[in-house]
Amino acid sequence: MKLFVSNKKSIFITASLLMLFAASGAALVGLTFTQTIDDIKYNEKLTLLKKLNTIIPANRYDNDLLLDTLNIQPSSLLNTKAETLVYRARNKGQNVAVVFSSIAPSGYNGPIQLLIGIYANGQIAGVRVVKHRETPGLGDAVSITYSDWILGFNNKSISNPESKKWKVKRDGGVFDQFTGATITPRAVVNAVHDALLYFEKNQVTLFSQKLNNTKVDGIKSDGLESDDLKSDSIKQP
């Protein structure tokens, strides 16, 4: 009888220890997973912020660029098919610039995704290619990685050059084309010009603090915060 009780007690202790180890292991895995997710989100925010700062220098604004956002409905001028975010830069409460996505639909190998920044005075702060499938060594020169061609848009506006000159040189405009590749730069020039038209038409709305979730000319505001883009822990350089 004593042996039976002893064995029963031993089994109980062993089972309890196993349950304790299992619970500890599960807690550790959960903690590690949570930390990993947090690290991934942090790195995604940091990468996005760095990308935005290549267009709008960090010393030009003092607000949280990742929180001061606006949801834009699909637009024919931007060639977008789904809602996208506008990032608004401000300094001491004054409007500085907006950054938003645009699509050049007629690239040589398909659509070219752009990120375009425009200052409050209507001048282009910067343009960057986010995604493309253009031919290596030819059309890929639209990317800042391979050439500085994209910097040619800096400080341009809807009136500089005049509208009829917003073309590549082969079409009678002022923007360079690439040797052996005209379709790609032509598509980007057209997309940037359309983005300027969009900004000119919607500037007041784009900088509005809040639109009470109403649509105005294709724009809808859901407030300033975006759960996926909170940057509380990111310090702007």
Give CA angle at 155 (74, 115), nearest 5°. Answer: 30
Predicted confidence at residue 38, as pLDDT, reads 63
* Res 2 pLDDT > 70: no
Q: Are 140 and 149 in contact (CB under 8 A)?
A: no
- As a dihedral over the C-alpha atoms of residue 150, residue 155, residue 159, residue 161, rounded to 10 degrees, the angle is -50
CB 115 within 8 A of CB 80: no
Instruction: Determine the residue type at 69.
Output: T
Range scoring the smallest mean pLDDT among 149-158, 195-204, 223-232:
223-232
Highest mean pLDDT among 102-106, 189-193, 220-224: 189-193
- Could you tell me if 112 and 134 are in contact, meaning their C-beta atoms sit under 8 angstroms apart? yes
Domain locations along the chain: 1-53, 58-225
Q: What is the pLDDT of residues 102-153, one digit of tens each?
A: 999 988 889 989 999 999 999 999 999 998 777 777 778 888 888 999 999 9
pLDDT of residue 105: 93
Place of tokens 């031993």: 10
Q: Which pLDDT belongs to residue 117? A: 98
If one counts every other C-beta atom within 10 angstroms of the C-beta of residue 211, the result is 16
Are the C-beta atoms of 218 and 73 separated by less than 8 Å? yes
* Bigger pLDDT: 93 vs 233: 93
- What mean pLDDT is predicted for residues 178-206? 94
Query: For residue 114, how many C-alpha atoms fall within 13 Å in the half-sphere facing its CB?
Result: 32
pLDDT (0 to 100) of residue 39:
67
The answer to whether residue 223 scores a pLDDT higher than 80 is: no
| pLDDT over 50 at 218, yes or no | no
Is residue 88 over pLDDT 60? Answer: yes
Residue 166 has pLDDT above 70, yes or no: yes
Residue 97 has pLDDT above 90, yes or no: yes
Q: What is the pTM of this model?
A: 0.73
Mean pLDDT lowest among 19-28, 59-68, 158-167, 212-221: 212-221
pLDDT (0 to 100) of residue 23: 66
Contacts of 237 (CB under 8 A, 6+ apart): 53, 58
Nearest to 197 by CA among 81, 95, 116: 116
Phi and psi of 125, rounded to 5°? -80, -35
Distances in Å between the alpha carbon of 151 and those of 64, 117, 125, 129, 165?
25, 12, 10, 11, 17
CB atoms within 10 A of CB 198: 22
pLDDT at 226 over 50: no
Q: What is the pLDDT of residue 208?
A: 87
